[in-house]
Amino acid sequence: MAGILLVGVLRGNAGIAVNAGVGLLVSFLPAVLERNYRITMSVGIVLWITVAMFLHALGTLSLPALGFLSPYKSTWWWDHMTHALSSSLVAGAAYAVTRALDEHTEYIAMPPKFMFVYLLLFVMAFGVVWELVEFYVGVASDLVGTGKVLTQYGLDDTILDLFYNTLGGLIVATFGTVHLTDLADQLQLRIESTDQ
């Protein structure tokens, strides 16, 4: 991702640079959480975060093998894959934080079936907010006259993005919660240690 960021800076392409820079920052999050808060993520979770961020950053880069088009522009499924991966990260984070709060306090009660519905609704709502951000960043880029950092391809694309966001949330709500329980337990212990 550092290489993709460098390419974006050297080309003067804000879209590549910003997407790679944000991906690089997010991929450092597990190390920051471990160093500053002693919250350790499994190798699988770190790989999940890193792969999602790398594929998103790579998708903005024009590649010679693709006729100097980016994977987002040349590969019909790339945007769907990255939306599903990114939304699965959002669902994973929502699950870990919500479960930690559920275990920490008696005022929140999330039975498994309700947690399933909550994760789906959270991811769907987050997806709508993301699509609005994507739209308004595009409008702002047009007004300022800079290159687009985020690209929206119309209403059909937005509907497909929301569908794949929901699919990513559904996968985490169905299968991923088992793999995130340890992370949620660590968050709960961290919350309890700050209360004392």
For the stretch 135-192, pLDDT in tens is 898 888 888 877 777 777 788 989 999 999 999 999 999 887 788 989 999 999 988 8
Same domain, 103 and 190: yes
Same domain, 64 and 87: no
pLDDT in tens, 123-135: 999 999 999 998 8
Q: Is the pLDDT of residue 22 over 80?
A: yes
Domain end, chosen from 75, 101, 120, is at 75
Look at residue 154 in the predicted model and tell me its pLDDT: 83
154: CB partners within 8 A, 6+ apart: none
- What are the angstrom distances between the C-alpha of 154 and each of 79, 131, 135, 161? 13, 11, 9, 11
- Give the three-class secondary structure for 127: helix
Consecutive H or E run containing 14 = helix 14-27
Q: Is the pLDDT of residue 14 over 90?
A: no
DSSP codes of every residue in 31-90? HHHHHHH--PPPHHHHHHHHHHHHHHHHTTS-BGGGTSB-HHHH-TTHHHHHHHHHHHHH
- What are the angstrom distances between the C-alpha of 32 and each of 39, 72, 82, 116? 9, 30, 24, 29
Same domain, 33 and 102: no
Q: Is the pLDDT of residue 105 over 70?
A: yes
Same domain, 83 and 175: yes
Same domain, 109 and 158: yes
Q: What is the DSSP letter of 105?
A: -
What is the domain range of residue 15?
Answer: 1-75
What secondary structure, in 3-state letters, does 142-189 show? HHHCCCCCCCCCCHHHHHHHHHHHHHHHHHHHHHHHHHHHHHHHHHHH
Could you tell me the pTM of the whole model?
Answer: 0.89
Look at residue 77 in the predicted model and tell me its pLDDT: 96
pLDDT in tens, 32-60: 999 999 999 999 999 999 999 999 999 99
Task: Name the nearest CA neighbour of 185 among 107, 99, 126, 117.
Answer: 99
Look at residue 83 in the predicted model and tell me its pLDDT: 95
Same domain, 83 and 176: yes
Domain end, chosen from 11, 46, 75, is at 75
Look at residue 140 in the predicted model and tell me its pLDDT: 86
Q: How confident is the model at residue 75 (pLDDT cuts 50, 70, 90)?
A: very high
Q: Is the pLDDT of residue 10 over 90?
A: yes
Same domain, 90 and 174: yes
CB 24 within 8 A of CB 5: yes
Same domain, 61 and 2: yes
Domain count of the chain? 2
Look at residue 196 in the predicted model and tell me its pLDDT: 66
Same domain, 61 and 130: no
Same domain, 116 and 168: yes
Look at residue 146 in the predicted model and tell me its pLDDT: 75
- What are the angstrom distances between the C-alpha of 67 and each of 5, 7, 195? 21, 17, 56
CA dihedral sign of residues 55, 58, 59, 64: negative
Residue type, 125: A
Same domain, 96 and 43: no
Same domain, 59 and 140: no
